[in-house]
């Protein structure tokens, strides 16, 4: 889907909502939330992508990587049932897994050396993200002290940092063609291999408790990237996937 088409759809949604809002009494919420995020990468095997075009790893990064995510959000309700929520969110993406194969090792105080690697591969991808979510609210108790919410909508993410990590054993080839085994923990910036922008979709559910002037919330959400991360000549279809559990609060006003 082209960016122009995406922006047109979002503009139309906002136009419809604002036109309906003329005849409605708006209700606002401002809040923050944070919690745990389990990230993984899907699609083509990504070990070769992580190790670079000079490496040749076999394996996939299909295991979950745990991290912290958080956001500030504003929700506008147009009636008792429907609203629109926008967020400014930090979310760590990526994943980890096992792999083996040939890499270029960068020993301290030495020239780059070919090596055979066996161990764990991780990708750390940090994003600033802007979800635009439709919110559907239902009262779970009489008087609305406890409310249930469903959320769905697109996400617009911008990569701010990308790094790979190799942890394991490497058989290093020396100048005299002999080899030696080394334990390595090698990190590498891979920002040039990652596209700056990612478009995705998010689904979630939440429980809100009215405790007076503020509401407490617990929220679970699932997110899937719809555009590939790969920015190299490998042309791999690599997508992010995230599952988050969030805790937070919101402050209602404007009623």
Per-residue model confidence as pLDDT tens digits over 75-96: 999 988 999 999 999 999 998 8
145 and 210 Cβ atoms separated by less than 8 Å: yes
For the chain, what is the mean pLDDT? 85
Per-residue model confidence as pLDDT tens digits over 161-208: 999 888 999 888 776 677 788 888 888 888 988 999 999 999 999 999
What single DSSP character describes residue 53? T
Q: Which residues contact 28 (CB under 8 A, 6 or more apart)?
A: 74, 75, 76, 77, 252, 253, 254
For residue 136, the cross-strand partners are 82, 150
Q: Which residues contact 178 (CB under 8 A, 6 or more apart)?
A: none
Average pLDDT (64-68) is 92
Task: Write out the residue range of the structural domain in which residue 177 sits.
Answer: 3-253
Look at residue 232 and tell me whether its pLDDT is greater than 70. Answer: yes
Residue 235 CA to residue 44 CA, distance in Å, equals 10
The larger pLDDT score, comparing residue 49 to residue 210, is at: 210
β-pairing, 197-210 with 179-189? unpaired
Specify the pLDDT at position 1.
47
Q: From its phi and psi, is residue 168 left (phi > 0), alpha (psi between -120 and 50) or beta? A: left
Specify the pLDDT at position 124.
93
Specify the pLDDT at position 73.
97
CATH of the domain at 71: 2.40.160.20
Per-residue model confidence as pLDDT tens digits over 6-62: 555 555 555 555 555 444 578 899 999 999 999 999 887 666 566 666 567 777 777
Specify the pLDDT at position 58.
73
Q: Which residues contact 119 (CB under 8 A, 6 or more apart)?
A: 98, 99, 100, 166, 167, 168, 169, 184
The larger pLDDT score, comparing residue 119 to residue 69, is at: 69
Alpha helices in the chain (DSSP H): 3-21, 47-51
Number of domains observed in the structure of the chain? 1
Look at residue 68 and tell me whether its pLDDT is greater than 90. Answer: yes
Half-sphere exposure of 168 (CA within 13 A, CB side): 21
Minimum mean pLDDT range among 20-24, 128-132, 235-239: 20-24
Specify the pLDDT at position 22.
46
Helix (H, G, I), strand (E, B) or coil at 191: helix
What single DSSP character describes residue 192? G
């Amino acid at each position: 889907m082209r960016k122009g088409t995406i922006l047109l759809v979002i503009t139309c949604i906002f136009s419809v909502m604002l036109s309906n809002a003329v005849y409605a009494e708006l209700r606002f919420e401002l809040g923050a939330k944070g919690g745990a995020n389990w990230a993984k990468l899907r699609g083509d095997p990504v070990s070769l992508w992580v190790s670079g075009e000079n490496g040749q790893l076999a394996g996939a990064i299909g295991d979950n990587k745990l991290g912290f995510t958080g956001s500030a959000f504003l929700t506008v309700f147009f009636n008792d049932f429907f609203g629109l929520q926008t967020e400014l969110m930090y979310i760590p993406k990526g994943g980890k897994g096992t792999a083996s194969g040939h890499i270029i090792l960068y020993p301290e105080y030495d020239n780059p050396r070919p090596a055979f690697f066996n161990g764990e591969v991780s990708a750390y991808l940090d994003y600033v993200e802007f979800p635009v979510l439709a919110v559907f609210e239902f009262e779970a108790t009489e008087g609305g002290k406890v409310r249930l919410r469903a959320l769905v909508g697109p996400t617009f993410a911008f990569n701010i940092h990308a790094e790979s990590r190799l942890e394991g054993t490497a058989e290093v080839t020396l100048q005299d063609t002999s080899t030696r085994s080394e334990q390595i923990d090698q990190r590498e910036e891979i920002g040039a291999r990652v596209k700056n922008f990612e478009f995705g979709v998010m689904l979630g559910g939440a429980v809100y408790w009215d405790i007076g002037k503020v509401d407490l919330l617990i929220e679970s959400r699932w997110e899937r990237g719809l555009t590939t991360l790969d920015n190299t000549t490998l042309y791999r279809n690599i997508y992010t996937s995230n599952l988050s559990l969030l805790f937070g609060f919101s402050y209602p006003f404007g009623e």
